[in-house]
Copies of this chain bind each other. A is one copy, B any other.
Amino acid sequence: MTILSTSSQPQSARTPVPLSRVKFSGKFWGRFQDLVRTATIPATYQRLKETGRIDAFRLEWEEGMPNPPHIFWDSDVAKWVETAAYALVTHSDPDLRSIVDETVSLICSAQQPDGYLNTHFTVVEPEKRWTNMRDNHELYCAGHLIEAAVAHYLATDESNFVAAMRRYADYIDTVFGLEDGQKRGYCGHEEIELALVKLYRLTAERRYLDLAKYFIDQRGQMPDYFEVEARLRGEAPRSLGVDILSGDECRPPAPGSPMIHQNHLPVREQDEIVGHAVRAMYLCSGMADVVAETGDEELFEACKRLWEDATERKMYVTGGLGSHRADEGFTCAYDLPNETAYCETCAAVALVFFAHRMLRLDLDGKYADVMERALYNGALGGLALDGVHFFYENPLAVAKGAKPRQRQDWFGCACCPNNISRIIMDLGEYAYSEGANEAIINLYAEGEALLTVGGQAITLRQETEYPWSGEVKITMSAGHGANFILRLRWPGWCDGGSVVVNGEDMPFEVQKGYVSIERTWQDEDVIELSFPMPARRVYANPRVKADVGRVALACGPIIYCLEEADNGPDLDAIYLPRDQPLHLALEDALLGGVGVITGKAFQIDPALANGPLYRSEEVTLQRMPFVAVPYFAWANRKPGEMLVWIREI
């Protein structure tokens, strides 16, 4: 295994701290994890039951019956099992455990003698198994089942599900590949790649890693497999539209374009992030996983190019991805319209996946910054504060007169609910990393983690109101002296700050977004971090046409927005003066307890709207106080207008 030269440590020696050793408490992630456990998991199970998704695994559907299992359904159940498994890791819950085990048994019972497991293609269209990889999501469903099985095993020590999934993966490995008689295929919706690396990590079975690598490298090879199989299905070749990603006109890939599923080029040759945003992020996550296990430099370079394009040219300030509904994905660089932003919840979740994997490959705060941005804003906004309503799309503005946006309790295509819930329940894995000689904090959150550094158990306890405060007190339990490096993420939004160790102010240097302290740590050492966290203004690159002349408000990792509920209508007639002080307060009674930014703004005199179409008199402005709330908490009150990018004067 090659050691990555760009990484300051052999990547194999720096791994996420497993979920079982991290516990969140407090008012933010502790509260959200409680919400998902107590509200989201039961509610989404109920939806899966009542829509027939769970009972589909009974394989009782027959021609002529209503409600045939849909090609996506297995993945919805799998993600629920995965989420519930994460919940069981940190909270014993016999009732939930029994539902999970029962569901897992049912899933396993649907496995075919050859290892295949897919409800739709077993009972509805068995003759179409593996005939349309482009559209049918079979390997996508398989991937989610594998992820669920790994999570189930880690939560319960029961091996039935993971054993079934090994058989499934073994079977898939016989079907796809470069050997004679094997299909040269891969899935139109990536997911199996990262799942196979999880299975490899659990089982140490190399063929799963090799199969993941095969799926990654086969994508985009000529002849285009999706065309090959289309001809086998007797379909005419697609008449492709013109793909324009930059230059004259900016639009998503034309319907039928290979760009939608990232198979327009071999992935190692790709420079631009294109197409369906969730697929693209799952692909990149799988690529980064393979890099982590193989040290494949060329593939890592591709990851870095795609990361750069995604996050420095095509990412909303919320960490949302996907500028257009047509491909649920990317268009061209800097095309980030706010009202029509697609920003699927799953895409922000998947950006957290990708960021976390890049951070594992290269401990650089730029990855942690994006991970945090997407997590606290674009992803978390997908979940209502009641835990049982969800956004699929997460626009950055709802204009006057536009259709109100409200979270729904379910979707026909129900990918988002269990994606936001599973990442919340799995968040422990994202917060800490450990290495041979280092303990790393990537995310600040009230709670406790047990790390293993150089064979020694280290406990880190965080006391903080982060993200509402930048004060973090870390108490170390390190036994009787242990020499290692404590690496503390220094958020990119933070200017200044202090590090106090055992009451003593410490000079520090931020390198690649982390402050590193090497010493012999003692039990009950206390590290106090202070990240100045005033309300601040954020500006977009002027190439982002939609945001020119506008400002976003932020505080720490949280992006704020104006809502009609606080500010009345006509939000886009509000001007925020450049020199206006911004006031920050924590409002315990509002939206479950959130930070609020207030100040004075101006608004166009509403009477002008009743005036003529054109006039020569100056536009008159009225003073008004404004209230901005965290973006993730929007649309939890009366539906109305919303605005992230506020006009600046």
Contact = CB atoms under 8 A, between A and B. Distances in A.
Contacts of A606: 542
A548 interface: yes
Contact of A617 (B247, B539, B570, B575): B539
Given A548-B647, A573-B548, A604-B548, A614 B402 contact: no
Nearest to A607: B542
A389 interface: no
Interface string A517-539: 00000000000000000001111
B613 A248 contact: no
A608 B541 contact: yes
B647 A609 contact: no
Given A249-B403, A649-B649, A544 B613 contact: yes
A616 interface: yes
Chain A contact residues, majority secondary structure = loop
A191 B609 CA distance: 35
B618 A541 contact: no
Residue among A541, A573, A604 facing the most chain B CB atoms (10 A cut-off): A541
Interface in A543-577: 543-545, 548-549, 554, 570, 572-573, 575
A313 interface: yes
A315 B612 CA distance: 11
Interface in A582-637: 604, 606, 608-609, 611-619
Nearest to A540: B614
Contacts of A248: 401-403
A312 B613 contact: yes
Contacts of A612: 312, 541
Interface string A84-115: 00000000000000000000000000000000
A641 B570 CA distance: 30
Interface of A: 246-250, 311-313, 315, 317, 334, 399, 401-403, 493, 495, 536-545, 548-549, 554, 570, 572-573, 575, 578, 604, 606, 608-609, 611-619, 647, 649
Contacts of A604: 542, 548
Q: Enumerate the 5 nearest inter-chain pairs by beta-carbon distance, A residue then B residue, closest first.
A: A248-B403, A542-B604, A312-B613, A539-B619, A543-B609
Oligomer: number of copies: 2
Given A311-B613, A493-B616, A401 B541 contact: no
A619 B548 CA distance: 10
Contacts of A402: 248-249
Contacts of A539: 614-619
Contact of A611 (B315, B541, B573): B541
30 contacts: A246-B401, A248-B401, A249-B402, A249-B403, A311-B613, A313-B613, A315-B613, A399-B545, A493-B616, A495-B616, A536-B616, A537-B616, A537-B618, A539-B614, A539-B615, A539-B616, A539-B617, A541-B608, A541-B609, A541-B613, A542-B570, A542-B573, A542-B606, A542-B608, A542-B619, A548-B572, A548-B573, A548-B604, A548-B647, A554-B616
A542 B603 CA distance: 11
A542 B647 contact: no
A577 B158 CA distance: 70
Nearest to A544: B613
Contact of A545 (B312, B548, B572, B618): B572
A613 B578 CA distance: 20
B616 A538 contact: yes
Contacts of A611: 541
A369 to B, nearest CB: 10
Nearest to A603: B542
Contacts of A554: 616
Nearest to A604: B542
A537 B317 CA distance: 34
Nearest to A248: B403
A616 B617 CA distance: 34
A634 to B, nearest CB: 19
Contact of A618 (B578, B614, B618, B649): B578
Contacts of A317: 614
A606 B542 CA distance: 8
Contacts of A572: 545, 548
Nearest to A403: B248
Nearest to A606: B542
A544 B401 CA distance: 12
A312 B611 CA distance: 9
Contacts of A538: 614-616
Contacts of A618: 537, 539, 578
A495 B611 CA distance: 18
A615 B554 CA distance: 11
A341 to B, nearest CB: 15
A599 B171 CA distance: 73
A270 B83 CA distance: 57
